[in-house]
Chain A
Amino acid sequence: MMNTEKTAEAGSNSLLFDFTVDKAAKTVNITREFDAELSLVWDAFTQSELLDQWLPPKPMTAKTKYQDFKVGGKRFYAMITPEGQERWAIQTYTSITPKTNFKMYNAFADKDENPELPGSEWDHHFSEHNGTTKVYISIYNESLERLERILDGFTKGMKMSLSNLEELLAKLSHK
């Protein structure tokens, strides 16, 4: 009943999106297909210039201070709310098999790179069939409270931008 919730649905372009939560194993499993060749999708998941463009759900943005994509290397980056509030995090790469798999440890941090533990363990698998690339991600979270904090950050960012929009609309309608 409460171990796994499964929701799969085909998008408009019938690319697979599967999101399951195994609460007992404290793991979120995500599978998604992309209409692009593997090397391009691999770049999108491993190069900070591309990650910064798609990982922050709009209206949030992201910036990477530095990235060293190798085993033991790190990416130090921030998610930024529309108001300019920065939430820093460190990703440490623990395993890399080019264009097949990479693993990392993700932890929140302050602006001086001091991590807030525990973080989460991420595993990514890539495969290509007929020009479609499938990515499987598993995210192990030591604590659900951490997930709660992640969502808290996102919803605050969203709400603030919505209230900005309301203000703007109110201003415009008075003109």
Chain B
Amino acid sequence: MRRDIFQAIADPTRRAIIALIALQAMTPNAIAENFNTTRQAVSKHLRILTECELVKQEQQGREIYYSLEIEKMKEIDNWLSQYRKIWETRFNQLDNILSTIKKQKK
């Protein structure tokens, strides 16, 4: 089952991880140093983010580096701006209906 992106970004630790690796690719250990939690917990968050395709892994030597999938984040913003457009259209239609009804009443 594909993971839900809202779920991914609803967790405060995962949002903090996203903010961290948005600046530079990091190893799980380096990421874990920023949190008051176990390395295992951070790994679990990274796994969820990877399943959502919000982060990608890259092997460099013996280390795995995690970095942000900027395109995926943009995709979310893209949906949301489309949703905003739909509401703009709806409300313009409603403006027209309201003004028609007001004229009929007069």
Contacts and interface: CB of A to CB of B under 8 A. Distances in A.
Interface of A: 1-3, 5, 7, 15, 17, 19, 21, 23-24, 26, 28, 30, 32, 34-36, 40-41, 44, 50, 53-55, 57-58, 141-145, 147-148, 150-151, 154-155
Contacts, number: 92
Contacts of A21: 80
A148 B73 CA distance: 14
B3 to A, nearest CB: 9
B84 A7 contact: yes
Interface residues of B, number: 35
Interface string B10-42: 101001001100100000000000000000000
Is chain B's binding surface mostly helix, strand, loop or mixed? Answer: helix
A68 to B, nearest CB: 23
B77 A36 contact: no
Interface in B84-99: 84, 86-91, 93-99
Given A1-B22, A24-B15, 6 more contacts: A17-B91, A21-B80, A41-B98, A44-B94, A58-B93, A144-B6
A35 B86 contact: no
B90 A57 contact: yes
